[in-house]
């Protein structure tokens, strides 16, 4: 059961990071349709220095609350089940259970980066998705605007994403559908940007979380 929760958390974490970072390139104004206008509003929020997003994930009988902090290529992901630090080169994944700390270390390959940090790889989300304007929606009793991204390649891991965006550009929620039709609903609880992080914020804090076992996969 612990392994199942770990794998589920990790897959969802990668989905969140993949989606948020792949939005970063802005579409030129001359090429904008309604969907791109709303995506660009969300992108501008994410590009304002460091960003902190608190979220809640609903997936069948699993409920996960957590926090994602990003600054350019770097990110930190934190839930009760798992913590991840990525400094732009090395990734540390901490799994905690019954007072036992397992740390996995790897330097992601280009392929793995597609599920971790496509900021480095994607020149534009338009290479991988078609953006469709979904119009105004009411989400949790509040107005938002929906944009749907449909995957161009049928074999792509994420087949579609529904993005709900508040009028100021902040994210309200994401609905990720995988190629096998498995949905992840991510409710954005809060979002702050313009933050500044310390130099070593995105590296594994070994003193705070001493490892009982280290699995180095580099």
CATH number at residue 132: 2.50.20.10
Query: pLDDT at position 63, please?
Result: 80
What span, in angstroms and rounded, lies between the C-alpha atoms of 43 and 147?
A: 13
- Domain range for 203: 2-216
Sheet holding 82-86, edge to edge: 129-139, 142-151, 158-165, 171-178, 183-195, 50-59, 62-71, 74-79, 82-86, 91-97, 100-106, 213-216
Nearest to 39 by CA among 181, 49, 47: 47
Number of structural domains (the chain) is: 1
Query: pLDDT at position 10, please?
Result: 60
What span, in angstroms and rounded, lies between the C-alpha atoms of 73 and 156?
A: 22
Query: pLDDT at position 151, please?
Result: 85
Q: Quickly tell me which residue has 């809060």 as its tokens.
A: 190
CB atoms within 10 A of CB 86: 24
Query: pLDDT at position 119, please?
Result: 40
Query: pLDDT at position 9, please?
Result: 58
Query: pLDDT at position 2, please?
Result: 41
Nearest to 62 by CA among 120, 11, 134: 11
Query: pLDDT at position 131, please?
Result: 87
Query: pLDDT at position 113, please?
Result: 54
pLDDT in tens, 83-114: 999 998 899 999 988 889 999 999 876 555 54
Query: pLDDT at position 134, please?
Result: 93
Residues in the chain where the model's pLDDT stays below 70: 1-15, 18, 21-32, 48, 60, 109-125, 181
CB atoms within 10 A of CB 164: 25
Length of the chain: 218
């Amino acid at each position: 059961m612990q392994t199942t929760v770990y794998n589920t958390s990790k897959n969802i974490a990668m989905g969140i990071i993949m989606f948020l970072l792949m939005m970063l390139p802005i579409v030129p104004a001359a090429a904008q349709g309604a969907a791109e206008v709303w995506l660009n509003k969300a992108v501008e929020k994410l590009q304002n220095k460091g960003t902190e997003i608190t979220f809640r994930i609903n997936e069948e009988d699993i409920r996960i609350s957590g926090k994602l902090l990003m600054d350019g290529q770097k990110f930190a992901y934190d839930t009760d089940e798992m913590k991840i630090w990525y400094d732009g080169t090395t990734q540390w994944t901490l799994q905690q259970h019954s007072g036992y700390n397992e740390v996995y270390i790897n330097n992601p390959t280009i392929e793995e980066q597609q599920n971790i940090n496509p900021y480095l790889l994607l020149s534009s989300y338009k290479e991988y998705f078609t953006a469709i304007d979904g119009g105004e929606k009411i989400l949790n009793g509040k107005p938002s605007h929906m944009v749907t991204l449909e995957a161009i390649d049928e074999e792509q891991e994420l087949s579609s994403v529904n993005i709900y965006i508040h009028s100021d550009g902040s994210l309200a929620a994401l609905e990720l559908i995988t190629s096998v039709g498995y949905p992840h609903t991510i409710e954005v609880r809060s979002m702050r940007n313009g933050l500044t992080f310390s130099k070593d914020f995105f590296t594994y804090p070994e003193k705070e979380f001493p490892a009982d076992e280290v699995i180095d996969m580099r």
